[in-house]
Amino acid sequence: MTLYALMGMILFTMRKVPDSKTLALGLSLFFLPIILDVIYMYTFATTLPELPRTAMHVYPDMAPQEIVVGFQSTDLYTVFKTNFHNLMWRWYDFIPDGRPLKVLGLFLLGYYMFSTNFFTVRAKEWKFIIVFFIIGMLFTEVATLMKGGVASFSRSWTDIAHKLIHEIGQLSLALSYVCILARLVNAFPNFIFFKWLKNYGRMSMTSYLGHTFFSILVFYPIVAWDFFGNLTIEQTYYVALIIITVQLAFSSIWFKFFNYGPIEWLWRCGSYKKWFPIRIKKTD
């Protein structure tokens, strides 16, 4: 969320960029990490130690078991120190995978598509659904077979090729999902699940902070239930499914009575320095 907020602030400074240049700029930023990775490969990347690939993140200075013990601690300082350690290395990971540039590039691509009515008009066309889906599936499958990694420095041109193929596949596949969803919404505008998603999106910040809060309750022993490191991947999936189901129901009930999500309302009032009516006015 911190990264999105920072990139959003940068995006705000680019609001006067002409629509005709937004597409090229967005794509350039999205694929710029590939060029930077070539530079890293010929300067320092090949001298770095290789870390084993496991289901859990492996750090040069802490084993996965130490991370689990840190989060299972009931000592506030130990939990904070473990979180700060992961935050530090998380931002380090942004260097080889170029996440900040990709996020900013995607923001610009999204803005371009919105400004050209892609989401409401062209996304419904079958040609876009088919082309994006085929390219996305093909490139993603090839990237999977190559078994590379996008979050590590490239050490060969094979690694560079993997990243390029992976990024093309993921971007195309994401666009195909957007097109499929646009087609479905157009075909079934009154489908109740789409209304739930709409309400969920209207309080996106509240939902984000909400699932963070519930996850802290579920996983941190210092607060509540101490499930960190004690659940299987399947069980964790069910926990996430329960949380998002509760949030979908909550957002749909909430907007029967209110105009804005609670955090969105506070943010709006603070941004405009005025109080907005949050309750929906009842009509006689």
**DSSP conformation letters of 190-234:** T-HHHHHHHHHHHTHHHHHHHHHHHHHHHH-TTTS---TTTS-HH
Indicate whether 70 and 86 sit together in one domain. yes
- Tokens 């082309």 sit on residue: 131
CA atoms within 13 A on the CB side of 214: 16
Indicate whether 133 and 27 sit together in one domain. yes
Indicate whether 251 and 121 sit together in one domain. no
The confidence score (pLDDT) of residue 53 equals 62
Indicate whether 214 and 174 sit together in one domain. no
Encode pLDDT of 134-187 as tens digits.
Answer: 999 999 999 999 887 787 888 889 989 999 999 999 999 999 999 999 999 988
pTM greater than 0.85 (yes/no): no
| 42 phi, psi to nearest 5 deg | -90, 5
Domain that holds residue 38: 1-187
Indicate whether 114 and 225 sit together in one domain. no
For residues 170 and 45, the model is more confident at 170
Indicate whether 181 and 193 sit together in one domain. no
For residues 199 and 75, the model is more confident at 199
Indicate whether 67 and 144 sit together in one domain. yes
CA distances to 7, 102, 105, 114, 181 from 111, rounded to whole Å, are 13, 14, 10, 5, 18
The model's confidence at residue 54, banded by pLDDT at 50, 70 and 90, is low
Indicate whether 75 and 113 sit together in one domain. yes
What domain count does the chain have? 2
The model's confidence at residue 212, banded by pLDDT at 50, 70 and 90, is confident
Residues in the chain: 284
Tokens of 66: 């130490």
Mean pLDDT of the region 109-117: 91
The confidence score (pLDDT) of residue 237 equals 87
Indicate whether 138 and 13 sit together in one domain. yes
Indicate whether 183 and 193 sit together in one domain. no
Indicate whether 128 and 261 sit together in one domain. no
